[in-house]
Amino acid sequence: MADLNCDMGESFSLYHMGNDAELMPYIDQANVACGFHASDPNHMRTTVELAVKHDVRIGAHVSLPDLAGFGRREMKIEEEEMLNIILYQIGALDAFCKQAGTTLAHIKPHGALYGMAARQEPIARAVARASVIYGLPVMGIAGTLHETVYEAEGAGFIAEFFADLDYSDEGGLIITREHDAVDPALAAERARRAVEDGSLETVGGKSLPVRAETVCIHSDTPNSRDIAQAVSAALSQLKAA
């Protein structure tokens, strides 16, 4: 049955982003920013230690080198450079995991990199090659290059569904620069439907098939704590059924 993951650890210097401490009790996996779209060494260590305290598995949330754009703007980068950028970030977070006496559990591209890897084979290959080096599975969208390229390169794949984001009529994830508040009941129903029924509703009202081995929410959604609580409860009910 699907578990709950969250993109977090995205504060930077004196600037606060997300509700990490409030979310940790409700999630199973934390995708921790590695400094290229958000975070810094102090916040990376704090987030890792917080995850360890709550027995939450940790993943490297790797990004394009776009701190000013929060990693949500596409960039033109060749495969080898992209691989180096990803390895650099994983290595940094891995060091803080070692310091805290834990290990990394997975990799997840962030924002624009996530979308690019779903459509551009060289980018997907760079992600997969990094995952093979570290022996970690990668979260992604089933039926896209995430799945086909990651598996072809020998990387583990975890099918992911987003409870607090919209999907286009073509089945693509709609990535925005900022996340608006989402009705917690709607997010919970989206998660239930994706996991139990294997379907999602697009912005145009279409019903499309989906595979969800893990459900994602975002810490920077304004009412993220309420969303986490509602989605966690929905997934727990499915596990108990």
State the DSSP H helix or E strand holding residue 58, giving kind and residue range, or none if neither. strand 57-62
Q: Quick one: which of 165, 117, 166 has its CA closest to 138?
A: 117
What are the structure tokens assigned to 121, written together?
Answer: 């084979």
d(CA 231, CA 224): 10
**Which distant-in-sequence residues (6+ apart) come within 8 Å of 76 by Cβ?**
none
d(CA 221, CA 113): 19
Binned average pLDDT, 10 residues per bin, the chain of 241 residues: 95 92 97 98 98 98 96 96 98 98 98 96 98 98 97 97 93 78 95 96 93 96 95 94 73
What are the structure tokens assigned to 94, written together?
Answer: 């891995």
> What's the pTM?
0.95
The domain 3-240 having CATH identifier 3.20.20.370: the answer here is yes
* pLDDT score, position 157: 98
* pLDDT score, position 173: 85
- Decide: helix, strand or coil at residue 55: coil
* pLDDT score, position 174: 84
Structural domain spans, the chain: 3-240
What are the structure tokens assigned to 76, written together?
Answer: 């033109």
